[in-house]
Structure 1
Amino acid sequence: MSDEPLAIDIGPAPFPAPESTRRPVRCRLCGRPLTGAESRRTGLGPSCDAKLHPPGPDIRTRRHEVDQDTPPGT
């Protein structure tokens, strides 16, 4: 046996590449480049996602005062 190290080609690094070498992901609605992990996962930027998925109505905005008669006996 010799004491020389074995030459093994292991290929590219198994961990994710830095942001600069990643393939650019663009918003499916407006085409701008996406940078955030959540935006890259969904394929939509924050403003475009808000356009397609607006928040639900707040129940407090639907409340209104109603004129009522006084209950009998009070």
Structure 2
Amino acid sequence: MGDEPLDIAIDSAPHEGPARVWCRLCGRPLTGSDSRRTGLGPTCDAKLHPAGPDIRTRRHDVDQDTLPGI
């Protein structure tokens, strides 16, 4: 029993294309190069890193007098 060879088929054929990378949050396969690099899909990345507030939403009009000479 200890010296018997194992009946395991080893696939020695090379894999075609890049290895599959899965999203660390939801487990879906990643296809984009940025997603593969970060390990997160675009939806999951947006959940973890929401976009900052838009500066245009913080602007407001100010009532002011006209400049003299205009």
TM-score normalised by length of structure 1? 0.56
More strand by share: 2
> Aligned ranges for residues 28-47 of structure 1 at < 5 Å?
28-47=24-43
Runs of 4+ in 1 over 2 A off after TM superposition: 64-68
How many pairs does the alignment contain? 56
Mapped pair 1:25 → 2:25: no
TM-score normalised by length of structure 2? 0.59
**Structure 2: unaligned runs, 5 residues or longer:** 1-13
**Structure 1: unaligned runs, 5 residues or longer:** 1-12
Q: Identity of paired residues, percent?
A: 73
